[in-house]
Amino acid sequence: MSCITSAGRSRPSEPVMIVRAWQALVEMVRTSRERSRARCQLAAMTERELQDCGMSRAEIAYELEKPVRRK
């Protein structure tokens, strides 16, 4: 259900906006958990595994120090 604004554009009703907000929140939490898992896996890698991936400990340290919300 949509409402018509004075400019003639329709905007979503409140229940639709609430559902979209929850969906966005769930997606943010999912992304955060996924990144956390990836960081843990990177931290646990051996030197040999890092060489195979073409990464160095310095690159891993940089990734681990980044704020969680940063892409």
Has residue 44 been placed in a domain? yes
Per residue in 47-61, pLDDT (tens digit) is 899 889 898 888 888
Q: Which domain holds residue 31?
A: 2-65
Per residue in 13-56, pLDDT (tens digit) is 888 899 999 999 999 999 889 888 988 888 888 989 988 989 88
Between residues 27 and 9, the one the model is more confident about: 27
- What does the buried/exposed string (b/e) look like for 8-28 if buried means 16 or more CB atoms within 10 Å of the residue's CB? eeeeeeeeeeeeeeeeeeeee
Has residue 70 been placed in a domain? no
The number of domains in the chain is 1
- Give the closest residue to 30 by CA, choosing from 19, 40, 38: 38
Has residue 43 been placed in a domain? yes
Query: What's the predicted TM-score (pTM) here?
Result: 0.59
40 touches 34 (CB < 8 A): no
- Give the closest residue to 68 by CA, choosing from 38, 37, 36: 36
